Amino acid sequence: MNLKILKLENLLRCHAVFRQLHSLGQRRMLAQWSHVFSSAYPVWTAQPCVWPWQTDLVIGAALSQYRLLVTKKEGRSQKPPLSSTKSKKEVEVWIGMTVQELARAMEKDVDCVFEALMNTDIDIDSLEAHSHLDEVWIKEVIKKTRMKLKWSKLKQDKVRENKDAVRRPQADPALLIPRSPVVTIMGHVDHGKTTLLDKLRKTQVAAMEAGGITQHIGAFLVSLPSGERITFLDTPGHAAFSAMRARGAQVTDIVILVVAADDGVMKQTVESIQHARDAQVPIVLAINKCDKAEADPEKVKKELLAYDVVCEDYGGDVQAVHISAVTGDNLMALAEATIALAEMLELKADPTGPVEGTVIESFTDKGRGPVTTAIIQRGTLRKGSILVAGKSWAKVRLMFDENGKPIQEAYPSMPVGIVGWRDLPSAGDEILEVESEPRARAVVDWRKYEQEQEKNKEDLKIIEEKRKEHQEAHQKAREKYGTLHWKERSFLKYQEKKEQKLLKPKEKEERDSPVLPIIIKGDVDGSVEAIVNIMNTYDASHECELQLVHFGVGDVSENDVNLAETFHGVIYGFNVNAGNVIQQSAAKKGVKIRLHKIIYRLIEDVQEELSFRLPCTVEENPIGEASILATFTVTEGKKKVPVAGCRVQKGQLEKQKKFKLIRNRDVIWKGSLTSLKHHKDDISVIKSGMDCGLSLSEEKIEFKVGDEIICYEEKEVPGKTSWDPGF
């Protein structure tokens, strides 16, 4: 693509320069040209202007001829050294810059770049002012011109302040008070986890209020007659346990491993042991289904030895309790064993200060909106607290326990239902209390921003890879000159250039070729750079010229809209906004603003706009085919009209449609019919398998037996750009 961006004040000078260049075709003028474009980047002021395309053609042609002359001259050694600069000038460069951009950055003319690349491995003849240079060649040019290289990103990305909320440092031991254990029940499928949980929960409900309706909130508390309490996570199975851990949420203090006494150790028993071990969570063994006649608890204990789960009877420290989840036998003993282990673990928490916790479950309630169940791990949760979790925040409107009863406070280890979330956080998300709503919003904004940045990085990586692939393919396509001697290559290139030149500027202008002027705005320079780089792969100027009128960082401005209006262009924004006033102004001026959050969608949009600007192509849609079986002439007044006797082989012939005559696979005529008859009757349609006589609007055509007549209609097909940005 030709980037043709100039300052307005340079316009007149440039025109004058090119007029002279055109007429004189002298190299001296190229130096003036380069002087005009002397800034490292396309500098943009309020009134930029796009060069008419002809200038490139003229420069290209002049350069090509000049380079041809230079390469043909053997006496190049008499030339002065490439650069006479003694103090090393610093040149800001970037990967993929063009010859022209490099020359501008060096404040030299493009020939200086070409000369520096003479006698290197680069195919100098295929290089143009707008050709992109690989890193190695940029370095080569800078080295040969004895300048100093400085890599640049367009500009440095703005560093956004980290507004995240994090857990507090460890609490002062003086503040810690004992807390109840949080327990997960794990084990093999069908060994009785759900039955055990149900029984434990029911025991609790029965103990609290007969007939109370338990609410599934992912966790519940069981109080023992001794006053001790246990929090059970109500999500049996290690999937939930692993999912929590994968999110870094270590909520469980103890695992109750359920093994059916009649079945013994099975695959998921072993997996459960492994999960508990990975999380460094101690186990209490619940040997279930002991009410069954075939129950063999001792066998279970022995089998577990193989997995380093050594019960107390075997000299280890794992407590084993023989239970029946169905009858409820020994469940209290299981609870007591759990409490005993918890005491050994000395579980403590700090109930003061801002709350910290973990989301156990979250769901949307029709009346109450997003609801989460959480286990509080630090601090005391109260109504009105402001919480953040994942990319959501809440002002706690209501708290309730597993029986659906509203509660006023939730302490460490307590499961609690929380209402008041703006969005639905996910299970495993860390809950943190913050001081105010604005702070919560800032945290959530930051997290969303961070996630977007991550996504953009990923996108950019993919795009960069694709761009590389595309460039390699492009390079390969150009290797057609690879095997030729450089002189032959020069000659071929010269021939090609000559052919291009045959199309004079005026003729080209008259062709009224479509143009798409664009303005690109992005949130950070990195993304603008990536988009501009992709635009630089544009290689379909023969269909529609793509003009980058302006690019920059920031929201779409009135200036952008004015530019777009002046150039009849489209504004593309990446991760930026266009305020209401701007949108209205754009609508008034008929300017399209296209905002995107994914780079490849933006590029697809540019492709669509390019396609939209291409003229429609006309496709032929065949309706019927007939073969000519006989030819004769009929006399109409004084005229003799040739008539073809045909048989319709496929579809049908419709008199009002278009026709073509095929002989030996060549189309020898296209037009319409003057008559279509079946026997002596004029008809408008004749179907497959039937015979007819027809005459053409062109009477000079002579039919031959064996010719084919095709009846077709023309269909307009929207144009499609051939530009493939590589992804």
Ligand X SMILES: Nc1nc2c(ncn2[C@@H]2O[C@H](COP(=O)(O)OP(=O)(O)OP(=O)(O)O)[C@@H](O)[C@H]2O)c(=O)[nH]1
Residue numbers 457-516 binding ligand X by CB under 6 A: none
CB of 396 to ligand X, least distance (A): 33
Query: CB under 6 A: which stretch of 118-126, 245-253, 289-297, 571-579 binds ligand X?
Result: 289-297
Site stretch for ligand X (CB under 6 A), options 36-44, 124-132, 284-292, 586-594: 284-292
Q: Where does this chain touch ligand X (CB under 6 A) — which range of 41-49, 212-220, 320-328, 384-392? A: 320-328
Nearer to ligand X, 334 or 591 (CB): 334
Site string for ligand X, 225-264 (x = CB under 6 A): -----------x----------------------------
Q: Does 189 bind ligand X (CB under 6 A)?
A: yes
Closest separation in Å from C-beta 259 to ligand X: 10
Task: Report if residue 199 touches ligand X, rule: CB under 6 A.
Answer: no
Residue number with CB closer to ligand X (194 or 215): 194
195 binds ligand X (CB under 6 A): yes
Task: Provide the CA 686 distance to its chain's centre, in angstroms.
Answer: 54
Q: What angle do CA 418, 419, 423 make, to 5 degrees?
A: 105
Closest residue by Cα to residue 551 from 48, 158, 100: 48
Contacts for 629 with CB less than 8 Å, ≥ 6 apart: 645, 646, 647, 691, 705
Q: In terms of DSSP bridges, do strands 545-553 and 356-365 run parallel, antiparallel, or are they unpaired?
A: unpaired
Q: x/- contact string, 326-355, with ligand X (CB under 6 A)?
A: x-----------------------------
Nearest to 320 by CA among 364, 259, 269, 373: 259
Least distance in Å: CB of 189 to ligand X? Answer: 4
Which residue is at the shortest CB distance from ligand X? 192
- Here the tokens at position 653 are 């012939």
- Among the residue ranges 142-150, 324-332, 417-425, 508-516, the one whose residues contact ligand X (CB under 6 A): 324-332
| Pick 291 or 699: Cβ nearer ligand X | 291
Q: Which residue is it, tokens 């910290």?
A: 356
Residue 371, strand partner residues? 363, 419
Q: ∠695-696-701 over CA atoms, to 5°? A: 105
Q: Which is nearer to ligand X, 194 or 453 (CB)?
A: 194
- For ligand X, the closer CB: 195 or 413: 195
Pick the binder of ligand X from 7, 108, 191, 378 (CB under 6 A).
191
- Give least dist CB 183 to ligand X, A: 15
Tokens of 287: 């040997």
With binding defined as CB under 6 A, does residue 378 bind ligand X? no
Q: Does 132 bind ligand X (CB under 6 A)?
A: no
Binding piece for ligand X, criterion CB under 6 A, among 45-53, 283-291, 404-412, 685-693: 283-291
Residues in region 355-374 near ligand X by CB under 6 A: none
Three-state SS across 333-384? Answer: HHHHHHHHHHHHHCCEECCCCCCEEEEEEEEEECCCEEEEEEEEEECCEECC
Q: Does 193 sit near ligand X (CB under 6 A)?
A: yes
**Contact between 94 and 40 (Cβ < 8 Å):** no
Contacting range for ligand X; rule: CB under 6 A; set: 184-192, 218-226, 270-278, 367-375: 184-192
- Give the whole-angstrom CA distance, residue 46 versus residue 49: 10
Residue number with CB closer to ligand X (236 or 573): 236
Q: Can you say how many angstroms the Cα of residue 642 is from the centroid of all Cα atoms in its chain?
A: 64
Strands 182-187 and 254-260 come out as parallel
For residues 535 and 546, is the Cβ–Cβ distance under 8 A? Answer: yes
Binding range to ligand X, per CB under 6 A, among 24-32, 285-293, 312-320, 410-418: 285-293
Q: Which of 146, 247, 292, 677 is close enough to bind ligand X by CB under 6 A?
A: 292
DSSP state of 2: -
Of these, 90, 134, 164, 190, which contacts ligand X (CB under 6 A)?
Answer: 190
Q: Cα(415)–Cα(214) distance, rounded to whole angstroms?
A: 13
CA 182 – CA 373 distance, rounded (Å): 14
CB 7, CB 48: distance < 8 Å: yes
Tell me which residue of 722, 709, 581, 595 sits closest to 643, measured CA to CA: 709
Of the listed pieces 117-125, 286-294, 653-661, 706-714, which binds ligand X according to CB under 6 A? 286-294
Long-range contacts, stretch 214-218, CB < 8 angstroms, 24+ apart: 214/402, 214/403, 215/400, 215/402, 215/403, 215/404, 215/417, 217/360, 217/361, 217/373, 217/400, 217/402, 217/415, 217/417, 218/360, 218/361, 218/373, 218/415, 218/427
Member of 100, 145, 184, 288 binding ligand X (CB under 6 A): 288
Query: Which window, 64-72, 193-201, 347-355, 504-512, contacts ligand X (CB under 6 A)?
Result: 193-201
Spatial contact of 522 and 545, defined as CB atoms under 8 Å apart: no
Q: What is the nearest approach in angstroms of ligand X to the Cβ of residue 188?
A: 7
> What token pair was written down for 189?
């499928």
CA distance 609 to 605: 6
Nearest distance in Å: CB 359, ligand X:
23
Partner residues linked to 258 by β-bridges: 187, 286
Considering only residues 107, 123, 291, 699, which one is a binding residue for ligand X as defined by CB under 6 A?
291
In whole angstroms, give the CA distance from residue 727 to residue 718: 22
Query: Is the CB of residue 533 less than 8 Å from the CB of residue 94?
Result: no
Task: For 286-317, give the DSSP string.
Answer: EEE-TTSTT--HHHHHHHHHTTT--BGGGTSS
- Min dist CB 238 to ligand X, Å, is 10
Q: Closest separation between CB of residue 412 and ligand X, Å?
A: 28
Task: Record the tokens describing residue 308, joined without a space.
Answer: 């380093």
Residue type, 331: L
**Contact range with ligand X by CB under 6 A, out of 188-196, 210-218, 384-392, 519-527:** 188-196
Which residue, 221 or 334, is less far from ligand X as judged by CB? 334
Q: Which of 506, 531, 534 is nearest to 521 (CA)?
A: 531
Paired with 547 in beta bridges are 517
Q: Please identify, among the stretches 42-50, 61-69, 249-257, 318-326, the one whose residues bind ligand X according to the rule CB under 6 A.
A: 318-326
Tell me, residue by residue from 138 to 177, as one string, x for binding to ligand X by CB under 6 A and - for no binding. ----------------------------------------
Interstrand relation of 369-378 and 356-365 (parallel, antiparallel or unpaired): antiparallel
- Using CB under 6 A as the binding criterion, the count of chain residues that bind ligand X stands at 16
| Of the candidate residues 32, 194, 214, 250, the single one contacting ligand X (CB under 6 A) | 194
Q: Does 324 bind ligand X (CB under 6 A)?
A: yes
Q: Which residues would be at the binding site for ligand X (CB under 6 A)? A: 187, 189-195, 236, 288-289, 291-292, 324-326
